[in-house]
Amino acid sequence: MAITGVLSDALVGRERELYRLRTAIQKRESQLIWGQRDAGKTFLIRQAISGLPEAERGKCVYWTGTATGRHLVSRFLRGLYVAGDPVVRRKVHADRAGELTMDRWLNKQSLLRLRGILFSAAEHGDYRFFVDHLPPLTHKMAHLLKEIMYRCKTPVYLTGHGYSQREIGYARSLYWADEYRIQLEPLAESAAQELLEMCISNFGLASLDLAGFREEILHFSERLPGSIVKMCELAADSRYHYGDRVKLKLVHVDYLMQANRLAMNQTPTFVQ
């Protein structure tokens, strides 16, 4: 989903959570950001990072999606290389590799060596690692993050749908207290209405007959910001129009189908 216009910078009703996450980033405190799908976890992280001073922003390494342990280590190393980390660059350049050939270089290294380089770079740098949309962690994946957090003194910011073992796997032991968890609940009624009005303007819906539209959107979305935005984006498509009315039930069904397809693509494989 490409968010355009005013919505690209709009963080409505999440000021307290944004302040808490930015404070944790500045204090180098690991956090679990959790909430239902479309609660706005990814958007919150991106807003928190974008609001940091440039020097701190350049020290944030972000990964989203499924990954094996080796894949995650490799993505972190690539991020550190791009950030100009001297440890990583020295190792890569010693093997006569560079940014364009780094994937080939990563594939040639043993996982043990890659982990060693990552840990050395993290220990001597001032980084923050963000891991988004990762399936529930296996024991080995959780151990990898634990080593980064405690051995390397480098904070890790993880997203999840909850904080139980079913929802984040063995990472539960890393974020065991409320002080290490930021919950994104459904928006307050007033904030959800504010976001909805911004969406109506952003997606050009004001020219349509919106009788009952606002109430139904808030009901179907359960006041989750991502749901509000995505359903309004669908509602702007003429395929969902009957005259100047929006076929909102069809919008809701298609939104749910898209969410289910995404969930299936993110089903954990538990490879290590």
213 & 101 share domain: no
52 & 115 share domain: yes
Within a domain: 59: yes
Q: Which whole number is the average pLDDT over 7-16?
A: 86
Within a domain: 134: yes
170 & 38 share domain: yes
The percent of residues in the chain predicted with pLDDT above 90, rounded, is 89
208 & 103 share domain: no
pLDDT at residue 9, rounded to an integer = 75
Within a domain: 46: yes
CATH at residue 113 = 3.40.50
pLDDT at residue 268, rounded to an integer = 40
Q: Which whole number is the average pLDDT over 37-64?
A: 95
The percent of residues in the chain predicted with pLDDT above 70, rounded, is 94
37 & 172 share domain: yes
Within a domain: 271: no
Within a domain: 201: yes
Would the CA dihedral through 76, 82, 85, 91 be positive or negative?
positive
Per-residue model confidence as pLDDT tens digits over 198-249: 999 999 999 999 999 999 999 999 999 999 999 999 999 999 999 999 999 9
Residue 72, classified by CB atoms within 10 Å of its CB into exposed (0-12), middle (13-18) or buried (19+), is buried
Name the nearest CA neighbour of 143 among 174, 167, 120, 179.
174
Within a domain: 6: no
168 & 249 share domain: no
HSE at residue 111, side-chain half, CA atoms within 13 A, is 9
The confidence band for 10, taking pLDDT boundaries of 50, 70 and 90, is confident
70 & 171 share domain: yes
pLDDT at residue 264, rounded to an integer = 64
Within a domain: 85: yes
231 & 144 share domain: no
Q: Higher model confidence: residue 269 or residue 187? A: 187
pLDDT at residue 260, rounded to an integer = 82
146 & 196 share domain: no
Q: Which helix (H) or strand (E) holds 241?
A: strand 241-242
Q: Mean of the per-residue pLDDT values for the chain?
A: 93
Of the residues 128, 159, 183, the one at which a domain ends: 183
The per-residue b/e assignment along 7-26, b for 16 or more CB within 10 angstroms, e otherwise, is beebbbbbeebbebbbebbe
Q: Residue 251 corresponds to which amino acid?
A: V
Within a domain: 3: no
23 & 128 share domain: yes
176 & 196 share domain: no
Q: Which whole number is the average pLDDT over 118-125?
A: 96
Please state the pTM of the whole predicted model. Answer: 0.91
pLDDT at 5 over 90: no
Q: How far is the C-alpha of 228 from the C-alpha of 222, rounded, in Å?
A: 9
Backbone angles phi, psi at 270, to 5 degrees: 60, 30
pLDDT at residue 265, rounded to an integer = 61
pLDDT at residue 270, rounded to an integer = 30
Q: Which whole number is the average pLDDT over 93-118?
A: 97
Give me the number of domains the chain comprises.
2
Q: Which whole number is the average pLDDT over 73-86?
A: 96
Per-residue model confidence as pLDDT tens digits over 137-182: 999 999 999 999 999 999 999 999 999 999 999 999 999 999 999 9
Of the residues 115, 148, 183, the one at which a domain ends: 183
Range of the domain at 201: 189-265
Of the residues 163, 183, 203, the one at which a domain ends: 183
Residue 226 β-bridge partners? none
pLDDT at residue 2, rounded to an integer = 43
96 & 171 share domain: yes
